[in-house]
Structure 1
Amino acid sequence: MTNRIAIILGLLIVGAIVVDAMFFGTEHLIFLAKKMLELMEWIAFWR
């Protein structure tokens, strides 16, 4: 992955989070962040 692709992908993800927060609020983002942390811990265990 080149730096240009990584920057574009990062901007798309941040933009999607901002748009989602503007329209639906931030309550579910906390839930998704907790689930993402659980997933990363589970993946690290199986690594």
Structure 2
Amino acid sequence: MTNKIALALGAIILSALVLDQLMNDGLALLFLSRKLADLIEWMAFWR
């Protein structure tokens, strides 16, 4: 991955987080965080 691609992806992710915070009060990030926690717990079960 080149630096240009990494910076572009970082800018896209950052802008998505800012838009979520402004338009949706951060509920999408909260939803994704909860689902990630569930996934980590599920993966720990299979360990």
| Length-normalised TM-score, structure 1 | 0.62
Equivalent residue number for residue 7 of structure 1: 7
The 1:41/1:6 distance shift into structure 2, 3 A limit, reads farther
Structure 2 partner of 1:27: 27
Deviations 1:10-39 (A, max 9, x none): 111110110121011113312212323444
TM-score by length of 2: 0.62
| Aligned equivalents of 1:13, 1:7: Cα separation in 2 | 10
- Bigger-Rg structure (1/2): 2
Please tell me the root mean square deviation across aligned C-alpha atoms, in Å: 2.5
Unmatched 5+ stretches in structure 2: none
In 1, Cα distance between equivalents of 2:8 and 2:41: 27
